């Protein structure tokens, strides 16, 4: 049976299906997993071991043999902890085939093969009995089935099944319970990720969002982020931190939908918009061993907050913002199904705990077209002012404009700043409907013509006989993953060459790729070898990851929102490639080689990469660094686009004297639309 997978194709501006060999799942899942991050999470590991040891002691104190069921064993680490703590036998369940194979190897290498049985199944398929996977029901349940939202990986159905079919009555569980916390806040920054705001153009003109978008309850999914990187100065707490609900994992668990409420007095007047949420897990019944997901700014010393990427914090957007006054009684309600949570706010004290509230769903389609970073980008005032300023520079009263970007407001802004005629290519039918709503709301439906076709299909007839004098793009394409994928604009410009006037303006006129050697505060952990973890040899996991990286990820960059992952620039930003949109796409590859000196002391973990677009001779927009790197290397990154990160095979300790450097070798292949790359540290 043939297997296909989706891969970004920058030359086509979409997702291409490619045939993959039978090992695809193995390579894709392992290379991009968070196993390394989890194994490096010492706080998590220590507290799991403390909780497991305490549970084993409680069972032994009752005079029982200890049988452990470990669901989602991964590397087998928690099972090995259980046996080390005195468990008589452990059943380690892992559904992912390559991971189960790794667990078997790791368990054997550490000398536990006679006490740990790895079961390569989903826990709901495990059977108990003389001919079953387990000889007897277990009396300790150990799991790590949680995600940022706690229940998003199907924890509730798995616990429900385990208690009914696999566990003894009155069993112990590690973790013992989980608690969900939430805080109601007002935040212009966070709210801009879910609602399109008016844009001031000029001469009193404003681009208004359509009523359907304003009244829409938004996307139903959680926004999971490193909330520690959202400054408390960027939001106002309107209420206390509320305990919303708890789940006791040692008792039968239900996956049925339920609602819980917390009533409190508003602490500050404002607009209730956003709910910040996280959870903690008690590893023991007494709650003396706690693993918390609270952001670092909740700690007296923020440096004490453990860093994790496999578990973060959650941002939920209320279906609509609500004005609240200090001292007013309100009720915050959370509802969950078997996989997700959502929140609502009411000023009615009669709302009772247990009544189910409908899951918010997008009705305006904008939340299906634009993701959260895209909403933030469209609402960015500085960015919008830059585009409007650039349009004023290039537009004339007889300008004929053609826009190329996905779900873009740039063609509308061009019409509002004086272009004679504006066309915009919008291939997606859903995206076209959203833009049409905006045009109708602003009485511009006759001013901007939307073309539902590919750039190479556009003819003079589609342009009503006009030749394009201004070809524009942000550029933004929803299928782009890495910074240079936006070069699809160049492919479109080339395909449209025959529709352009001889001296047509191209906006942006060019793009430049920048690189910078960086030291990450924490992100390096996701690619760092584990070696020995809490005294157990887990090198087979490192071997699997490296094999996967060699297979697909080697010599490739990863997309990351670097505003969430603090780093220091150890080199200065270096422009390494410029792409001239004034000319058509070249047929031959573009190559660039050189080195960037390491000017600051620190450990160089990798290279950050981003694009800067030259809108006009005077106006440049960066999709990476927003400010010059400070003297000590501090960086401020654009929150709207992902930057590229290339992790070095081995990190490098820099003394910062400029003698050592990051060497680069880059080749842009116009046939593929991608960049082949290699980085290394060169020393004298």
Which residues fall within 8 angstroms of residue 169, CB to CB, at 6 or more apart? none
Q: How far is CA 562 from the centre of its chain?
A: 11
> Is the pLDDT assigned to residue 13 strictly greater than 50?
yes
Would you call 138 helix, strand, or coil by DSSP? strand
The helix (run of H) or strand (run of E) holding residue 274 is strand 270-282
Domains 178-363 and 510-521+566-682 agree in fold: yes
The helix (run of H) or strand (run of E) holding residue 440 is helix 429-441
Which pair of tokens denotes residue 557? 């960059």
Q: What is the pLDDT of residues 660-670, one digit of tens each?
A: 999 999 999 99
Where do the structural domains in the chain lie, given as residue ranges?
35-174, 178-363, 380-497, 510-521+566-682
Fold of 178-363: 2.70.160
Which pair of tokens denotes residue 80? 């090995």
Q: What is the pLDDT of residues 411-428, one digit of tens each?
A: 999 999 999 999 999 999
Say if residues 281 and 150 touch (Cβ distance below 8 Å): no
Which residues fall within 8 angstroms of residue 649, CB to CB, at 6 or more apart? none
| 79 CB-side CA count, 13 A | 33
Return d(Cα 227, Cα 307) in angstroms, integer: 11
Indicate the pLDDT class of residue 36, thresholds 50, 70 and 90.
confident
- Domain 510-521+566-682 class, CATH top level: mainly beta
Return d(Cα 97, Cα 122) in angstroms, integer: 10
Q: DSSP letter at 85?
A: T
Task: Return the minimum-mean-pLDDT range out of 66-80, 104-118, 354-368, 431-445.
Answer: 354-368
Would you call 177 helix, strand, or coil by DSSP? strand
Return d(Cα 477, Cα 129) in angstroms, integer: 55
One-character DSSP codes across 585-638: PPSS-EEEEEEEE--S-EEEEEEEEEEEEESSSS-EEESSBSSPPPTT-B--B-
Return d(Cα 334, Cα 244) in angstroms, integer: 7
- In 3D, which of 376, 469, 389 has the Cα closest to residue 422? 469
478-481-483 Cα angle (round to 5)? 105
- In 3D, which of 118, 122, 158 has the Cα closest to residue 141? 158
Question: If you compute the radius of gyration of the chain from its CA atoms, what whole number of angstroms results?
Answer: 28
Fold of 380-497: Rossmann fold (3.40.50)
Residues with a catalytic annotation lie at 144, 153
Q: Which residue has the higher pLDDT, 6 or 428?
A: 428
Say if residues 168 and 192 touch (Cβ distance below 8 Å): no
Q: What is the pLDDT of residues 534-571, one digit of tens each?
A: 889 888 877 766 665 554 444 689 999 999 999 999 99
* CATH architecture classification, 35-174: 3-Layer(aba) Sandwich (3.40)
Indicate the pLDDT class of residue 683, thresholds 50, 70 and 90.
confident
Return d(Cα 28, Cα 643) in angstroms, integer: 20
One-character DSSP codes across 295-353: -GGGSSSGGGSPP-SSS-EEEEEEEEEEEE-TT-EEEEEEEE-SS-EEEEEES-TTPPT
Return d(Cα 91, Cα 107) in angstroms, integer: 12
Write phi, then psi, for 358 (nearest 5 degrees). -60, 140
Please state, as a whole number, how many other Cβ atoms lie within 10 Å of the Cβ of residue 629.
20
Residue 279, sorted as left (phi over 0), alpha (psi -120 to 50) or beta, turns out to be beta
Say if residues 594 and 612 touch (Cβ distance below 8 Å): no
Say if residues 166 and 70 touch (Cβ distance below 8 Å): no
Instruction: Say what the pLDDT of residue 16 is.
Output: 58
> Is the pLDDT assigned to residue 617 strictly greater than 50?
yes
Which pair of tokens denotes residue 146? 């949680």
> Is the pLDDT assigned to residue 438 strictly greater than 60?
yes
Q: What is the pLDDT of residues 469-515, one digit of tens each?
A: 999 999 999 999 999 999 999 999 999 999 999 999 999 999 999 99
Q: What is the pLDDT of residues 384-405, one digit of tens each?
A: 999 999 999 999 999 999 999 9
């Amino acid at each position: 049976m043939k297997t296909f997978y989706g891969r970004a194709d920058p030359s086509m501006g979409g997702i291409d299906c490619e045939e993959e060999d039978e090992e695809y799942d193995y390579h894709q899942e392992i290379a991009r997993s968070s196993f390394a991050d989890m194994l490096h999470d010492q706080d998590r590991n220590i507290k799991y071991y403390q909780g497991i040891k305490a549970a084993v002691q409680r069972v032994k104190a009752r005079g029982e043999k200890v049988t452990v069921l470990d669901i989602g064993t991964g590397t087998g680490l928690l099972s090995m902890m259980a046996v080390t703590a005195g468990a008589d036998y452990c059943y380690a369940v892992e559904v992912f085939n390559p991971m189960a194979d790794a667990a078997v190897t790791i368990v054997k290498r550490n000398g536990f093969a006679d006490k740990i049985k790895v079961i390569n199944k989903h826990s709901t398929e495990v059977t108990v009995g003389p001919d079953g996977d387990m000889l007897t029901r277990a009396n300790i349940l150990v799991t790590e089935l949680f995600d940022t939202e706690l229940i998003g990986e199907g924890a509730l159905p798995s616990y429900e099944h385990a208690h009914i079919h696999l566990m003894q009555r009155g069993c112990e569980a590690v973790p013992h319970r989980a608690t969900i916390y939430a805080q109601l806040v007002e935040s212009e920054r966070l709210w801009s990720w879910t609602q399109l705001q008016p844009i001031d153009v000029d001469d009193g003109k404003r681009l208004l969002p359509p009523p359907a978008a304003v009244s829409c309850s938004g996307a139903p999914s959680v926004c999971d982020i490193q909330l520690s990187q959202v400054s408390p100065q960027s939001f106002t707490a309107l209420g206390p931190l509320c305990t919303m609900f708890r789940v006791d994992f040692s008792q039968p668990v239900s996956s049925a939908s339920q609602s819980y409420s917390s009533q409190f007095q508003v602490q500050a007047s404002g607009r209730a918009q956003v709910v910040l949420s996280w959870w903690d897990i008690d590893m023991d019944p007494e709650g003396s061993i706690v693993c918390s997901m609270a952001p670092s700014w909740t700690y007296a010393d923020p440096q004490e907050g453990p860093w994790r990427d496999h578990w973060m914090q959650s941002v939920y957007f209320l279906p609509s913002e609500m004005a609240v006054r200090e001292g007013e009684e309100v009720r915050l309600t959370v509802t969950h199904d078997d996989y997700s949570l959502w929140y609502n706010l009411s000023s009615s004290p009669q709302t009772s705990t247990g009544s189910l509230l409908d899951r918010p769903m997008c009705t305006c389609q904008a939340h299906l077209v634009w993701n959260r970073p895209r909403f933030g980008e469209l609402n960015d005032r500085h960015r919008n002012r830059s585009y409007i300023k650039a349009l004023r520079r290039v537009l004339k009263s007889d300008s004929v404009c053609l826009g190329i970007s996905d779900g873009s407001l740039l063609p509308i802004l061009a019409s509002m700043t004086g272009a004679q005629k504006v066309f915009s290519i919008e291939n997606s039918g859903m995206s076209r409907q959203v833009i049409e709503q905006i045009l109708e709301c602003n009485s511009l439906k006759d001013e901007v013509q939307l073309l539902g076709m590919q750039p190479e299909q556009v003819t003079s007839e589609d342009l009503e006989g006009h030749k394009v004098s201004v070809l524009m793009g942000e550029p933004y394409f929803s299928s782009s993953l890495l910074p240079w994928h936006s070069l699809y604009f160049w492919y479109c410009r080339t395909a449209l060459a025959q529709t352009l006037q001889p001296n047509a303006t191209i906006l942006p006129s060019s793009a430049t790729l920048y690189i910078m050697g960086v030291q990450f505060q924490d992100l390096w952990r996701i690619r760092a070898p584990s070696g020995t973890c809490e005294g157990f040899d887990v090198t087979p996991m490192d071997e699997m990851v490296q094999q996967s990286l060699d297979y697909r990820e080697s010599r490739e960059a990863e997309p990351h929102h670097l505003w969430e992952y603090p780093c220091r620039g150890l080199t200065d930003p270096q422009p390494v490639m410029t792409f001239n949109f004034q000319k058509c796409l070249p047929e031959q590859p573009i190559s660039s080689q050189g080195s960037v000196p390491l000017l600051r002391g620190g450990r160089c973990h990798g290279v950050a990469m981003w694009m800067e677009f030259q809108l006009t001779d005077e106006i440049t927009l960066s999709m990476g660094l927003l400010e010059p790197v400070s003297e000590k290397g501090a960086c401020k990154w654009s929150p709207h686009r992902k930057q590229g990160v290339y992790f070095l095979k081995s990190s490098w300790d820099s003394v910062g004297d400029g003698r050592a450097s990051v060497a680069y070798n880059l080749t842009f292949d116009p046939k593929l639309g991608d960049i082949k790359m290699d980085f290394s540290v060169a020393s004298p």
